[in-house]
């Protein structure tokens, strides 16, 4: 899959799955603008990986929960490279704890980052994609959306919202040859997995058919496929990348 000449925006690109997506698309020829909220050193590491491999990427510090961020990212990409082909929403925030102990602040933060942030960036990206009658939008969700997860009611609600939002936008954007899909990882080796207690993680790994956690690059491969011309007739779909977890129960 060759992305030479294409321009991509990736949110949450400094680490984890976002970093893997940035590096994979850049390696395949895309010019990538990614944002990060706090991890400046991690963003610099991502840039170094891309540049050392001969790719093109730029980083911007931004918080996707800010209503102005989506417009700012799209404008930056258009000013730098004159087009926008791909948007991947990887920015995410999670906590862990029973519902009775969940604060309103935590609920709002998780929803604002994982769901409202997707709205902000998609809304901003839609018009330039419509003008060119082409676009690929991929939103990161999670298996929490369909199965729920103990201690993460807020994240489960947010990711379920992402999947519903994705299907709705896919119907609206299809007339302009814009596809909108989501990718739902299971247990993947990122910092987001670190908040889950060991016994819960052991339970999850025990029902995964492949009996292991996933790697960020394995999720990135699914994202890159959906961003490619090979996925031109796939829209409104949620692709699970979970090692066979969804088969359980």
Q: To 10 degrees, what angle do helices 216-227 and 16-27 make?
A: 50
155 in active site = yes
From 194, 187, 91, 178, select the one nearest 126 (Cα to Cα). 178
Q: How far is CA 188 from the centre of its chain?
A: 13
Tell me 246's DSSP state.
G
Closest CA to 6 of 90, 77, 101: 77
Q: Which of 186, 185, 179, 159 is nearest to 237 (CA)?
A: 179
Distance CA 72, CA 55 (A): 23
- What distance in Å separates the CA atoms of residue 180 and residue 136, rounded to the nearest whole number? 6
- Three-state SS for 212? coil
The catalytic position among 36, 96, 134, 155 is 155
Residue 195 CB neighbour total at 10 angstroms = 14
Alpha carbons 84 and 82: distance in angstroms, whole number: 7
Catalytic (active-site) positions: 155
């Amino acid at each position: 899959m060759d992305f030479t000449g294409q321009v991509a925006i990736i949110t949450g690109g400094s680490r984890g799955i976002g970093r893997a997506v940035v590096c994979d698309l850049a390696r395949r020829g895309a010019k990538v603008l990614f944002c990060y909220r706090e991890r400046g050193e991690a963003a610099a590491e991502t840039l170094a990986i891309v540049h050392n491999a001969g790719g093109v990427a730029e980083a911007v510090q931004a918080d996707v929960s800010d209503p102005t961020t989506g417009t700012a990212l799209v404008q930056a990409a258009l000013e730098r490279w004159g087009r926008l082909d791909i948007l991947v929403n990887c920015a995410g925030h999670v906590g862990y704890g029973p519902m009775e102990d969940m604060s309103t602040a935590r609920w709002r933060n998780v929803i604002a980052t994982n769901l409202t942030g997707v709205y902000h960036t998609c809304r901003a990206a839609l018009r330039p994609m419509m003008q060119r009658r082409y676009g690929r939008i991929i939103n990161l969700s999670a298996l929490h959306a369909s199965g729920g997860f103990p201690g993460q009611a807020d994240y489960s609600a947010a990711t379920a919202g992402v999947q519903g939002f994705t299907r709705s936008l896919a119907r609206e954007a299809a007339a302009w040859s814009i596809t909108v899909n989501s990718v739902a990882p299971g247990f993947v080796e990122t910092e987001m997995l670190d908040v889950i207690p060991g016994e819960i993680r052991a339970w999850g790994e025990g029902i995964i058919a492949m009996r292991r956690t996933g790697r960020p690059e394995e999720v990135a491969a699914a994202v890159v496929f959906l961003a490619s011309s090979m996925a031109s007739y796939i829209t409104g779909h949620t692709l699970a990348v979970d090692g066979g977890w969804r088969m359980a129960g």
